Amino acid sequence: MIPSILPTYNRAPLHFVKGEGSWLIERDGRRFLDLGAGIAVNALGHAHPALVEALTEQAGALWHISNLYHVDKQAALADRLVDLTFADTCFFTNSGTEACELAVKMARRYWYAHGRPERTKILTFDGAFHGRSTAAIAAVGTPKMTEGFGPLLPGFVQLPFGDIEALETALEDAEVGAVLIEPIQGEGGIRSLGDDALRKVRAACDAAGALLILDEVQCGMGRTGRLFAHEWAGITPDIMMVAKGIGGGFPLGAVLATEEAAAPMTAGTHGSTYGGNPLGCAVGLAVVDIVADPAFLSEVSRKATALRQGLESLVASHPDVFESVRGEGLMLGLRCRLPATDVVQAGYAEDLLVIPAADNVVRLLPALNIPEAEIAEALARLEKTATRAAAKAA
Ligand SMILES: Cc1ncc(COP(=O)(O)O)c(C=O)c1O
C-alpha cells in the first residue's frame, strides 16, 4: 500500500524534534552535529534568536496579504539586495525551482522584446541541478531527472561543465539566448567552475550577446565567504537565482536581475501567491542583516580555512576512505573512495550529519556561524566516521 506521504524520498531513519545552532536533537535524545544545515538552508543554524524574533514578531502582525497590495518587508528586502549586489530589481519566490522558472521566462522574454524571439535556447551543463519543475528538469536533461516526464520543455542544450571551447562553439548558434550555470555545483558533487572559467563564461556570453544566468541557490548567501560566489571572479550576471540560505530555513527564493534583462517583465507577465510574503521577507531581512556584514563574511572565510585544513589531514590519514577535498568556503566536499553513502551512514552512527552528492562526494555545508569548537568536534567525529566506514568495508 502506498504510504500517506508519496514515497519520492529515501529518508534516513532519523526523527529530529529540535534544533539549536549546529545541533539537531533526535526524538531519542541523541544530539547530532549538523554539517548539512538542511542542504545549505539553515545558514545561521537552527533557531537563531534574531530569526526567531523576526518571524514571531511578523507572525503577530501580518502573515499574508497577497501581491495585490504593497508588502513593505518585501520592498525593504528588495532594496537591501539591490544595494548589496549587481541587481537593479528582484522578484521573490518560495524556492529555487521557482526562481529557475522565472529566470528561464525572463531570458526568453528579453529576446522576444528585443525582436529576436528565436533566441530561446539556453545552454546548461552536465552535473547541474536547478530544481524539479518541468523547466528545471529539461534544463538538466539527464534520464535520471527526465525519464517518464516527457514531453520536455524544448530549448535546452547541455554542455560539459567548465568546457569553455564547447561553450564558445555552442554560442555560435544564433538561437542561443542565455547560459545558465552554477558557479559551484552542489548536487553535482561540489564542483567549482573556478574564477578564471567564470570570467571566460561571462566574456563568451558578452561576445555572443547572450544573457548570463547564475544559479547561486546553493553557493550564494555567504557560503563562499562573499555574499555571492561570483563576486570572487569580479564578474556580474544578468540574472541570478537565489534561495536556500536567504530564508535561513523559511521558504524564500528570489530572482535578481539587471534593469536591462528584467525590463520586459512588465505587469501581468509573472506572479506568485506566496512569493515575497511578509513572513519570508521578515526572516530574509534578518538573515541578510547578519550575513552581508563584511565582518561576518570574513569569519566565514576564516572558519572555512580551519575546516578545510582539518579535512586535508583527514584525507591524508584515511586514503582508503577519502580521495580529496574540494569546494570553496563552507561549501566543501570529500570525494570518497568508499561509496559516499556508506560514509554518510557511518556518520549517523557517530551522531554526525553530512550529505551525499553526485560524483561519490560527501558534502559539508555547515551553518555559516558554526563556532570554532564545533568545527573541532566535527573533525573529531569525521575521524571516527572514517575509521568506522573503513572497518565496515574491510
Ligand atoms: C543549485 C540549485 N538550484 C536550484 C535548486 C532548487 O531549489 P529548491 O529545492 O528550493 O526548489 C537547488 C536545490 O537543491 C540547487 O541546489
- pLDDT tens by residue, 36-50: 999 999 999 999 999
Nearest ligand 1 atom to the CA of 98 is 11
CA 380–ligand 1 middle distance (angstroms): 30
- CA 147 to chain CA centroid, Å, is 24
158 backbone dihedrals φ, ψ, rounded to 5°: -95, 140
Q: What is the pLDDT of residue 353?
A: 98
Candidates 126, 125, 150, 152; CA nearest to 138 is 152
Q: Which of 130, 180, 228, 250 best tests ligand 1's pocket when mutated (most atoms within 8 Å of CB)? A: 130
CA 249–ligand 1 middle distance (angstroms): 13
What is the rounded distance in angstroms from the CA atom of residue 141 to the CA atom of residue 124? 9
Is residue 387 annotated as involved in ligand binding? no
How is the chain split among helix, strand and coil, in percent rounded to 5?
40, 20, 40
Q: What is the pLDDT of residue 140?
A: 97
- CA 84 to chain CA centroid, Å, is 18
Kindly provide the residue ranges of all beta strands, DSSP E only, lying in 21-148, ordered along the sequence. Answer: 23-26, 31-34, 89-93, 121-125
Nearest ligand 1 atom to the CA of 186 is 16
Residue 89, number of CB atoms within 10 A of its CB: 16
Domains in the chain, CATH or no CATH each: 16-34+294-393 (3.90.1150.10), 49-291 (3.40.640.10)
In total, the chain counts a number of residues equal to 394
Reading the block at residue 206, the C-alpha cell is: 558578452
Q: Does residue 216 have its Cβ closer than 6 Å to ligand 1?
A: no
What is the rounded distance in angstroms from the CA atom of residue 249 to the CA atom of residue 361? 24
381 backbone dihedrals φ, ψ, rounded to 5°: -70, -35
Low-confidence ranges of the chain (pLDDT < 70): none
CA 289–ligand 1 middle distance (angstroms): 23
Dmax (CA) for the chain in angstroms is 64
In this structure, which residue's CA is closest to atom 8 in ligand 1?
96
Q: Which of 145, 218, 228 best tests ligand 1's pocket when mutated (most atoms within 8 Å of CB)? A: 218
What is the rounded distance in angstroms from the CA atom of residue 130 to the CA atom of residue 128? 7
Residue 372, number of CB atoms within 10 A of its CB: 12
What is the rounded distance in angstroms from the CA atom of residue 141 to the CA atom of residue 159? 11
The per-residue pLDDT of the chain, averaged, comes to 98
Predicted structure pTM score: 0.98
In this structure, which residue's CA is closest to atom 4 in ligand 1?
130
Q: Does residue 34 have its Cβ closer than 6 Å to ligand 1?
A: no
Q: What is the pLDDT of residue 368?
A: 98
CA 116–ligand 1 middle distance (angstroms): 30
Q: What is the pLDDT of residue 222?
A: 98
Q: Give helix 72-84 / helix 278-291 axis angle, nearest 10°.
A: 30
Q: Does residue 217 have its Cβ closer than 6 Å to ligand 1?
A: yes
Q: What is the pLDDT of residue 241?
A: 98
